[in-house]
Amino acid sequence: MTDKQGAVRRLIRYLTRYSGKFWAATFLMALFAVFQAILPLIMGTATNDIVAGNMEGLERSVLLLLFFSILMFITGMLGQRIFAAVSQQALCDLRTELFDHMQSLSLNFFDRQPIGQLMSRVTSDIDVIDQFFSNAFQNVMQAVVSIVVITAFMLWLSVRLTILVYAVLVALSIFIWVVSRISKPAFSVLQEHISTLNGYAEEHIEGQKVVLAFMQEGRSVEEFSKVSRDAARAGGKASFTALITLPISITSTNLQSVLLLGIGGVIVVMGRFDLGLLVSFLGLSRGITGPLSHVFMSYSMLMNAIAGAGRVFAILDETPVVADRPGASAMPKVRGDVIFDHVDFAYIPGRTVLLDNSFHAAPGQVFGLCGPTGAGKSTIINILTRYYDIQSGSIAIDGTKIDSVQQDTLRIQIAQVLQEPFLFSDTIMENLRYARAEATDEECIAAAKQAGADGFIMAQPQGYQTFLADGGAGSLSQGQRQMLTIARAMVANPRLLILDEATSNVDTRTEKLIQAGLLQLQQGKTSFIIAHRLATIRHADTILVINKGQIIERGSHAQLMEKQGFYHSMYMSQFRGKLAGITKAA
């Protein structure tokens, strides 16, 4: 089974999940095809009645035509309606399964996938699969059923004329197949270009402020136009088959009719075939070429769907790098005793990020992590929360190794406030409650007050029920959004607390407002604070100084300052920078 056949079969399995409705729709399609085949037979009978001057027979034929036309309409409409419902249910299943599976994947998957291309798979690729479910497959199914039924009627009327019809159809099919072989690779290329185009557009729309700040509008448009032209060229090649199919199908249909009229007419004149049968056969032959044309015209949709499905199934076939062990138990209620024991870690094998790191955080202690950019501070947090698995050593909380427990039961007991605040497009209250769904309004409001956020929240049009469009990016400042994420962490009431540069995006005045709340939040909880501003971790019980992936110093602020080592140099450089700024301002 080729990859393309495998993709089609996997897509069809989503439809056949609803086997009852699927086969009911198929049965109605078969009835539709039978009634479609009966109509030309009645037309043939009516022709003979006209030739014979049989008015009574002609009236009967007209009534039968009307009756079977109504049946054809009813079965066709019902079949299409049922199949449309099945198609949308199948698409919903696929879309939900894709999103659900993406939620289960490890962070390293998202590290190597541009967000724009992932969005393209969730949107553009799903859209072309929708076209396959809603149009292409449905048309092909109806066409195949019609061709089989009508061919049976044609063979019943005349085997020789049926062979003549199929000689033309075989020649047409061979030609279309040759053309499709040439254009087939273009569909995969087209989907890749569309993915790149969507990714570029999303990235530059999101970064529009940077584009404007550096006056790069012209460059952005030029590069977008280039990517768009590449997509257009690929689209032109991919559409060639669909564009050429219609005129070729019409030409072959006309050629087929000419041959049938010529040869069939001779047979009628020779008295071996009556005129009514020839009319019936002509009608049946057109009943084959029409559905066959639908098959050819659906080819581009099919190829697009195969290309899109290949990219979607590539995600569905991804397995989480960080996975629970078979039979992993739930993480017990955390007290907060954290031990790193000779931990090594690398995002990419062979490129060590952390080397031989060990430390012990007792319950309720506050640990500060500092060091140059890229030293490995955030990486320590990423492996503590088990977003990534370590290469060697061990990490244990309360004596339980974190790789032996279920990930969700570990992370539910850890609250994080990240450097870049992220809020959802929802009300302020629901954003606060996101950390703990069962939290009451009173608890959320208390957390907001503790974080110093209650004042600006109440100044919003609907207070806590104010809807934050685009996560509040247009209505709240960076500092206000960060204060909401801090309040959200307070609502979670965690046993472990992680602050990753949590106050780096707020001004000094705002920072002072929330520091009191953070200090209260840290009471009784083991806390890890990644800090660029060293003043924010002066109160920490232990400060880990990290450089080039290793802990090079550790101790309290006073102890590290007394050593006059790496930490002392960093602190004094920040202090001198502030002093210089104050002197310059004066």
Per-residue pLDDT of the chain (586 residues; tens, 9 = 90+): 456 667 888 888 888 888 899 899 989 988 988 888 888 888 878 877 787 778 888 888 889 889 988 998 999 899 888 988 898 898 889 888 888 888 888 887 877 776 766 777 777 788 888 888 877 788 888 888 888 888 888 888 778 777 877 777 777 667 666 665 655 566 667 667 777 777 677 666 666 656 665 567 777 778 778 877 777 777 766 665 555 655 666 666 666 666 666 666 666 666 666 777 777 777 777 777 777 767 766 766 777 778 788 888 888 888 888 888 888 999 999 999 999 999 999 988 888 899 999 999 999 899 999 999 888 898 999 999 999 999 999 999 999 999 999 998 998 888 888 877 888 888 999 999 988 889 899 999 998 888 888 889 999 989 999 998 877 777 888 778 888 888 888 888 888 998 887 666 666 676 676 676 677 677 778 999 998 888 888 889 999 999 999 999 999 999 999 999 999 999 998 776 554 444 344 3
pLDDT at 553: 95
What number of H helices and E strands is found in the chain? Answer: 21, 10
In one-letter notation, the amino acid at residue 299 is Y
% helix / strand / coil in the chain, to the nearest 5? 70, 10, 20
pTM for this predicted structure: 0.72
Which among 334, 358, 359 has a CA at the least distance from the CA of 542? 359
pLDDT at 343: 95
Name the H helices within 207-274.
Answer: 208-213, 217-269
Dihedral, CA atoms, 397, 401, 405, 408, nearest 10 degrees? Answer: 50
Q: How far is CA 43 from the centre of its chain?
A: 52
- Asked if 297 and 243 touch (Cβ cutoff 8 Å), the reply is no
The CATH H-level superfamily of 3-316 is ABC transporter type 1, transmembrane domain (1.20.1560.10)
Number of residues written out for the chain: 586
> What is the spatial distance between Cα 122 and Cα 574, in angstroms, rounded to a whole number?
45
Name the H helices within 207-216.
Answer: 208-213
pLDDT at 373: 86
- Asked if 421 and 500 touch (Cβ cutoff 8 Å), the reply is no
Query: Greatest CA span in the chain, whole angstroms?
Result: 120
- The pairing of strands 366-370 and 542-547 is parallel
- Asked if 545 and 370 touch (Cβ cutoff 8 Å), the reply is yes
Residue 503 has which token pair?
Answer: 């106050």
SS3 for 18? Answer: coil
Which among 510, 418, 419, 491 has a CA at the least distance from the CA of 448? 491
pLDDT at 585: 41
